[in-house]
């Protein structure tokens, strides 16, 4: 025991050079991940500058002529710019407002459920949609929303073609998002609730507190830090609203609400190979996300111990 | 407060407990049905005659039960090839992802590693900031991995948030005294990594494997931009069937019964292919479910 302590003290006295040599093996382990990260993560960051250039693959990135804000201006002047910006903001805002509380409410209910087998069954089932591809989810949505014999129309006795209604798009997007992810979202809240001291519940019971009062005075205060943390993380990703689902549910007739910035990046940058424009718009999106991240980080610091970066 | 009134209160709360039990059970069952029924409905539809499905005859049980949908799915060359591609990408991608997660997580859990902070920040930055779709696309082009299997996972880099979860697990759940004892006995970092960390971290390993598998199995966008049609994984193949609703040429040539028959076949393939695509992951995840909590909490508490 004493020799261990002496040894660890000796370790700390070693010089930096000595410690680096002693740790050559962990550095070797890091080698491949670091190289891949430099090439495929930092490489693209370096490539962002083509947003300010007329990119000529023959000349390479740095030799291509500098054009300043040209591509950004083109984006801002695009006939659909206002529509895309507001669709992006609204879709993610509605998504956040409607989706965020659902896993919290579900967790509060499930946590008070005394029949453990039922609780476990519900948990297993509600995780399932999280494991299904967006492609399959959108395929299912198209089947359910079909005007001729889709489940929704069968149940409602109507023949509405929902995916051609611009007014229905956001509801479809948000509701299916809740269906797919709310169950998965309960994991973190249920884990937090499982750390509540059982004697608190006992004491509350003796004092005659109802289930509702126990939720209100024990569970919710216990969850609050986690709720704030989750909210911060959601807000900071507000502009990265899911491209996949919007793209797969888009039809010519619902573009008024389904056109979002991410689709524009894909269509301009990849499909039409306008690399500079695609890069500029992507950068615009990232910039807004980073500003949001900094704002919520500052707000979070006011809450004290919530530190997420 | 007299003893009597306290007991009375206890009884009251007991009564309201029973009432709230009922309410909670009802809520739980409703949640259960809302989540499960759409999946069940598709499962039933996949064994039914599609005209009966669209006529509303299959809310609970199949009508004119048949396996024709599944037969058609597995007779469809594109789907079978897509299935093979998906399995390939999922297996190789999962090995790649999990290996990288471990290669990053272990060094970051070594207590006295010099420049650990710098290395952490180097990786964490990529969680919050990236070059975006187009610059990444151009790098993939430039490094010559376009239309090769490498394009399916190299551009993703390291799953940093998972690496942090794994690191926290190594630090908190594998006793430091054990590692110290091993290193005093002369075990190198390599030996500790391979003979101690990997075998002792199976719970977190299984979570990482499942998370990675799901991500690769369900991915289609990477293949859409980097791969050819022949290399398309299952979800991308299903795009033509599920989203564009187009019947393939091989289907059209197979059917002799004209347009109505072709139409029927297209619908049957839709239902069956949804089940075929979703089933593998839905079968696997319950086995590691008990570890999800641990995995996600480790990541949330200490980012």
> Cβ separation of A109 and B24 shorter than 8 Å?
yes
> Cβ separation of B271 and A127 shorter than 8 Å?
no
CATH superfamily of A90-256: MetI-like (1.10.3720.10)
Contacts of A126 in chain B (CB under 8 A): 31-32, 35
Q: What is the mean pLDDT of chain B?
A: 86
Q: Higher pLDDT residue, B256 or B268?
A: B268
Which of A185, A232, A278 has its CA nearest to residue B135?
A278
Regions in chain A scoring below 50 on pLDDT: 1-3, 5-6, 307-309
Contact residues for A201 (Cβ-Cβ < 8 A; gap 6+): A214, A218
The values of phi and psi at residue A53, to 5°, are -130, 165
What would the mean pLDDT of B209-233 be, rounded to a whole number?
93
- Name the token pair of B247: 């019947």
C-alpha angle with apex B114: B110 to B117, nearest 5 degrees?
Answer: 80
Q: What is the pLDDT of residue B250?
A: 53
> Cβ separation of B113 and A26 shorter than 8 Å?
yes
- Name the token pair of A226: 């986690």
Q: What is the pLDDT of residue B240?
A: 87
For A266, which residue in chain B has the nearest alpha carbon? B133
Q: What is the pLDDT of residue A168?
A: 93
Where in the sequence of chain B do the CATH 1.10.3720.10 domains occur? 70-231+281-301
C-alpha angle with apex A159: A154 to A160, nearest 5 degrees?
Answer: 115
Cα–Cα distances in Å, from A98 out to A90, A91, A171, A227?
A: 12, 11, 10, 15
With beta carbons less than 8 A apart as the criterion, state whether A25 and B190 touch: yes
Burial class (CB in 10 A: 0-12, 13-18, 19+), B66: middle
pLDDT higher than threshold 80 for residue B135: yes
> Cβ separation of A285 and B132 shorter than 8 Å?
yes
Cα–Cα distances in Å, from A24 out to A10, A28, B31?
A: 19, 6, 53
| Rounded distance between C-alpha atoms, residue B274 and residue B276, angstroms | 5
Contact residues for B302 (Cβ-Cβ < 8 A; gap 6+): B164, B168
| Rounded distance between C-alpha atoms, residue B297 and residue B175, angstroms | 19
User: Which of B17, B39, B220 has the CB atom closest to A133's CB atom?
Assistant: B220
Half-sphere exposure of B193 (CA within 13 A, CB side): 23
Confidence (pTM): 0.87
With beta carbons less than 8 A apart as the criterion, state whether A260 and A241 touch: yes
pLDDT higher than threshold 90 for residue B165: no
- Name the token pair of A188: 């973190």
Q: Which of B135, B178, B194, B290 to mutate to test the interface with A (most CBs of A within 10 A)?
A: B135
Q: What is the pLDDT of residue A148?
A: 83
For chain A, domain boundaries:
90-256
SS3 A113: coil
What ipTM was estimated for this complex?
Answer: 0.86
Shortest Cα–Cα distance, A151 to chain B (Å):
8
Contact residues for A52 (Cβ-Cβ < 8 A; gap 6+): A66, A67, A68, A69, A70, A71, A280
What would the mean pLDDT of B109-120 be, rounded to a whole number?
91
Per-residue confidence band for B127, with pLDDT thresholds at 50, 70 and 90:
confident
| Rounded distance between C-alpha atoms, residue A293 and residue A238, angstroms | 9
Contacts of A179 in chain B (CB under 8 A): 34-35, 38
With beta carbons less than 8 A apart as the criterion, state whether A208 and B8 touch: no
Q: What is the pLDDT of residue B4?
A: 45
Q: What is the pLDDT of residue B303?
A: 38
C-alpha of B22 from chain center: 34
Cα–Cα distances in Å, from A197 out to A5, A106, A160, A211, A216?
A: 36, 20, 51, 16, 15
C-alpha of B176 from chain center: 32
- Name the token pair of A97: 């407002």
Contacts of A5 in chain B (CB under 8 A): none
| Rounded distance between C-alpha atoms, residue B28 and residue B288, angstroms | 23
Q: Higher pLDDT residue, B299 or B149?
A: B149
Q: Which of A35, A55, A143 to mutate to test the interface with B (most CBs of B within 10 A)?
A: A143
Please spell the DSSP secondary structure of A157-194, one letter per residue.
Answer: T----GGG-HHHHHHHHHHHHHHHHHHHHHHHHHHHHT
User: Which of B112, B133, B154 has the CB atom closest to A278's CB atom?
Assistant: B133
CATH superfamily of B70-231+281-301: MetI-like (1.10.3720.10)
Which of B184, B203, B200, B23 has its CA nearest to residue B106?
B200
User: Which of A4, A36, A45 has the CB atom closest to B131's CB atom?
Assistant: A45
SS3 B157: coil
Please spell the DSSP secondary structure of A131-165, one letter per residue.
Answer: GS-HHHHHHHHHHHT-TTT-HHHHHHT----GGG-
User: Which of A190, A229, A270 has the CB atom closest to B225's CB atom?
Assistant: A270
Contacts of A43 in chain B (CB under 8 A): 131, 135, 139
Task: Find tokens 């940058």 and name the residue.
Answer: A269
Which of A154, A153, A157, A146 has its CA nearest to residue B59?
A154
Contact residues for A33 (Cβ-Cβ < 8 A; gap 6+): B100, B103, B104, B123, B158
With beta carbons less than 8 A apart as the criterion, state whether B120 and A264 touch: no
Sign of the Cα torsion A27, A32, A34, A35 reads positive
Which H helix or E strand runs over B92? helix B77-109
pLDDT higher than threshold 80 for residue B15: no
The values of phi and psi at residue A66, to 5°, are -80, 130
Task: Find tokens 């910039």 and name the residue.
Answer: A287
């Amino acid at each position: 025991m004493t020799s261990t302590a002496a040894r660890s003290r000796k370790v700390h006295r070693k010089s930096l050079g000595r410690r680096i040599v002693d740790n050559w093996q962990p550095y070797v382990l890091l080698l491949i991940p670091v190289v891949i990260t430099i090439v495929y993560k930092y490489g693209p960051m370096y490539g962002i500058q083509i947003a300010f250039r007329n990119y000529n693959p023959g000349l390479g990135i740095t030799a291509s002529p500098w054009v300043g804000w040209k591509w950004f201006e083109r984006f801002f002047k695009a006939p659909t710019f206002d529509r895309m910006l507001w669709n992006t903001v609204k879709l993610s805002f509605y998504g956040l407002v409607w989706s965020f509380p659902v896993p919290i409410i579900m967790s509060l209910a499930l946590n008070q459920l005394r029949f453990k087998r039922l609780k476990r069954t519900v948990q297993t089932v509600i995780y399932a949609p999280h494991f299904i591809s967006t492609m399959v989810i959108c395929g299912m949505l198209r089947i359910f929303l079909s005007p001729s014999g889709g489940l929704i129309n069968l149940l409602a006795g109507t023949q509405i073609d929902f995916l051609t209604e611009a007014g229905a798009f956001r509801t479809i997007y948000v509701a299916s998002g809740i269906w797919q992810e709310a169950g998965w979202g309960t994991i973190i809240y249920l884990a937090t609730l499982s750390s509540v001291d059982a004697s608190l519940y006992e004491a509350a019971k003796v004092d005659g507190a109802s289930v509702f009062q126990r939720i209100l005075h024990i569970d919710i205060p216990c969850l609050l830090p986690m709720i704030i943390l989750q909210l911060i993380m959601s807000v900071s990703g507000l502009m990265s609203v899911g491209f996949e689902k919007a793209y797969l549910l888009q039809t010519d007739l619902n573009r008024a609400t389904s056109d979002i910035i991410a689709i524009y990046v894909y269509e301009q940058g990849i499909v039409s190979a306008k690399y500079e424009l695609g890069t500029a718009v992507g950068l615009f999106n990232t910039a807004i996300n980073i500003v949001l991240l900094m704002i919520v980080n500052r707000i979070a610091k006011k809450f004290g111990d919530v530190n997420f970066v | 407060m007299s003893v009597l009134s306290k007991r009375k209160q206890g009884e009251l709360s007991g009564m309201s407990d029973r009432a709230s039990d009922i309410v909670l059970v009802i809520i739980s069952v409703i949640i259960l049905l809302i989540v499960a029924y759409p999946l069940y409905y598709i499962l039933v539809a996949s064994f039914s005659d599609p005209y009966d499905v669209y006529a509303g005859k299959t809310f609970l049980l199949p009508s004119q039960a048949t396996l024709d949908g599944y037969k058609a799915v597995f007779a469809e060359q594109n789907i079978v090839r897509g299935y093979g591609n998906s399995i390939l990408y999922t297996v190789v991608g999962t090995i790649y992802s999990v290996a990288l997660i471990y290669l990053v997580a272990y060094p970051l859990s070594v207590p006295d590693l010099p420049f650990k902070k710098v290395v952490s920040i180097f990786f964490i930055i990529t969680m919050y900031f990236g070059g975006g779709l187009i610059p990444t696309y151009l790098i993939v082009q430039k490094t010559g991995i376009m239309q090769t299997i490498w394009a399916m996972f190299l551009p993703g880099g390291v799953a940093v948030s998972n690496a942090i979860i794994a690191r926290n697990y190594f630090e908190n759940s594998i006793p430091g005294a054990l590692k110290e004892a091993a290193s005093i006995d002369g075990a190198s970092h390599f030996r500790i990594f391979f003979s101690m960390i990997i075998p002792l971290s199976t719970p977190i390993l299984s979570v990482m494997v499942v998370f990675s598998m799901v991500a690769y199995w369900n991915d289609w966008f990477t293949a859409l931009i980097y791969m050819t049609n022949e290399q398309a994984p299952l979800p991308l193949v299903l795009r033509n069937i599920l989203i564009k609703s187009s019947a393939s040429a091989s289907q059209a040539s197979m059917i002799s019964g004209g347009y109505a028959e072709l139409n029927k076949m297209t619908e049957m393939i839709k239902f069956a292919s949804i089940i075929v695509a979703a089933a593998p992951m839905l079968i696997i995840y319950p086995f590691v479910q008990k570890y999800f909590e641990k995995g996600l909490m480790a990541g949330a508490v200490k980012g």
